[in-house]
Amino acid sequence: MAVYFVVQIDIEDRGRYGQYEAGFMEIFGHHGGKVLSVDEDPILLEGTWPHTRTVLLEFPDAHAARTWYDSPAYQQLARHRFAASTSNAVMIQGLE
C-alpha cells in the first residue's frame, strides 16, 4: 500500500538548505519514491499555513519509505536540512 510523506518546512538559511537540495534526488531516487509536490505558495483554504515550503512524497510502501528516511546516506544529508530549517513531517497511509 502506498504511503505519503507530508513535510512542512520553515527555511531559515537558504544557502545551507541548498546543500540539502543538491544531494536530495540522488539519494531519494534509489528508494522508489516520487516527488509529487514542492510548493512555496500553497492556496490557503482554512486555518493558517506559515510554512516556507510544503513537500509531498510518495513511496510504494512503508518499508521503502522507512528504508529511505532511515538510511545513513539520507540521515547524513538531512543534517543540512536540520541546521537550515525546522520541519513537521508525517508519514500517512494511502487508501489502496
Residue 96: predicted pLDDT: 74
Give per-residue pLDDT as tens, 16-68: 999 999 999 999 999 999 999 999 999 999 999 999 999 999 999 999 999 99
C-beta of residue 64 within 8 angstroms of C-beta of residue 36: no
CATH architecture of 3-93: 2-Layer Sandwich (3.30)
Which residue type occupies 15? G
pLDDT of residue 21: 96
What pLDDT is stored for residue 15 in this prediction? 96
Boundaries of every domain in the chain: 3-93
3-class SS at 72?
A: helix
Pick 36 or 96 by higher pLDDT.
36
